[in-house]
Structure 1
Amino acid sequence: MHISKQLATAVFSFILAAAGTLPASAQSVGIDADVIADGLQNPWGLDFLPDGNAIVTERPGRMRLLIDGALSDPIGGVPKVAARGQGGLLDVAVSPRFADDSLIFFSFSEPGPGGAGTAVAGAKLVREGDGSRLEDVKTIFSMNRKTGTTRHFGSRLVFASDGTLFITTGDRGEGERAQDMQDHAGAVIRINADGSVPADNPKPEGWLPELWSKGHRNVQGATLDPATGALLTVEHGAMGGDEINRPEAGKNYGWPVISYGQDYSGDKIGVGTEAPGYEQPLHYWDPSIAPSGMAVYDGAMFPEWKGDLLVGSLKFAYLARLDRNASGVIGEETKLIDGEYGRIRDVNVAPDGSVWLLTDERDGAIICLSRAD
């Protein structure tokens, strides 16, 4: 469904909790949904610059700035990406010290011997006149085993409060790799912004030093919880078993030994839903929603949602709000938009508290959800 920038604002009203589980803060909330920009080819990642503008990636290998509501020409200097299948230019994260260092970081499917693998690079963003380019591009992480498959690259980038960088990877469609502790696939990686390994990373015997957690299938959403500073992730299952996790240092989240889903053939996956030595998810979906993009709401615009999770669905083209109580327990799920705009790829909370979405379509868009008057 194509909706141009010139269309009038669409207004939706939703009840934020079901009867019988009504939290004290629940009320009807009017939401304005504005198409800020369209004409993007499969946009994948977005982040905000300190000046209030944004930077966005397109999976075929382009990166653009959104300045005062207008998309720039493609930024120069983006390295070659393996834009096949689910691969290409993926997430983007602005340096926490951008005002001083002008650095951005981005993930991509890197071509190389044997095929492709998830990689992350940092670069200086240079803006001159009407143009922008990347300078001093440096790859700070590269998956240690490239293969010819074109699926399950991950990949989200999240800066922790201490300046370290979390990188999520997928199992590359080869589930056994998620249980190989000498393989970067199916993992959460933690490195410093220069690519070095933090001294306080977990050091389980036999693990690569940059591994934070393992046993993940395909993590396509990740964010920090403002209340705790902990990393939260959302990952694809097979048929069922999409999961929200809180990856902790040195722990194994089970794929493909345990899962709440089943194989596409209908066969059982692994040994069942639990086994000693493997962590349980905070939440799972069955059937799968194909989640991608996640944020914890911590803005001023929708105080009723404070601390709740916002998760996009590719399969069903909706944005879910998952209520969390003061202890972090995930409860009722509400659909804030449901099929109006297409596949939801990324979810971000803007500095003013509005919610920005990317739609993963050949004619993709940036959608802004704000509070209706």
Structure 2
Amino acid sequence: MPINRVFRLTLKISLFVRKNFPRTPKFLPTWRVFDLNKPFLTVGIIVIKQLNRRFGASSTLNSTNLSHRLYIAKKVQKIGLKLIEYECRASRQVPVLMRLGEDQTALRRALQSGDTDLIYTVLHYLRDKLSLADFLMLIRKFPVALELHMRVCGESDQDQLRDILVQEDNFHNQALLHIKEAYQTGRTDSRQAKVQGASECFRKAKNELGSQLAEEQVKLLKWQVQLEMQHGKAYIDKSLHDSVYQLIRDGQVKEAEKMRNEFRIPERRYWWLRVLAHSESSHFEELSNFSKNKKNPIGFEPFVDACLKFGHKAEALKYLGRVKEENRIAYMVKCGQLEDAAAIALEQRSAAAISCVASAATGPQHQQLQQRLSQALADPSL
């Protein structure tokens, strides 16, 4: 018998020389493989249990390497598969399972590990190894794997993703894919068709809100195409509000009114759009005429704010007197009318109003006003 197979003698010598060696001697794995190849050990699971009792669960006895060595030698592969079960690290166990041809077990073990990188590694390996039909049939058994594969397809292979979604009757995600594809194309007719397809898929998925929103988007696209043809300006890719805002800025108020009625824009929101657009475009006459509408749902504070926002202080002062009484002092301060605001605040003997004016009356030019306000605030009867 070769000297390297006198394992028991070698072990006893090692124990005699060094009772507590820090690592497992290199001959023990060889002993394990030799035992596995003995002709009288025919029942794999018995051998595995014997070896496990003999060597214990030592992490230094690399079950992964031993299992692969058995496979390379093309001997007792079933025992090798049993042996790999004793490897508790998925990062070592899964690659060996793939080499042993245990594809489903490798995928299951990778999923159990929760290691996304390991799962993607197995999926990539299986995609290269199997036909597309066999690959999809396999991963359908594992919902998480299917979801991860769909995520990859969404970034690199939308055609395959569409095929999977159709086969799975996943109408909701089909609709989302239609919308994504719609805004990847520069052709408006293709975009309308894609969004219309999304609406139909949402309806099949019983998502009435999604279907309705998609229909509204198709209608908006048709309006925007028509507006571009009429006015020669860009409207496609704008939101509904931006489209209406652009029309008002360009002086197309009648078109804006039609669009407002067609898409049922709330009245308060439309008033804000009108005030802001007229102020930005310096359409002061239109803004003045609009302010005379008796059905004003937002008050005159937005008129002052919009004019100040775009640097039209003189126009803002025109609407200052129509601001609500409880907001007038604050808006007088916004417009820089500190003396008038202070006079009203002192007349009202309101500590809050006086403090509001005093906080804005900074700098040497307002020193006297600041003193008056400070004296008023110091009055205990206030």
Q: Same-fold call, TM > 0.5?
A: no
Q: What's the TM-score bracket when you normalise by the shorter of the two chains?
A: under 0.3
Larger Rg: 2
Higher strand proportion, which one?
1
TM-score of the superposition, structure 2-length normalised?
Answer: 0.21
TM-score of the superposition, structure 1-length normalised?
Answer: 0.22
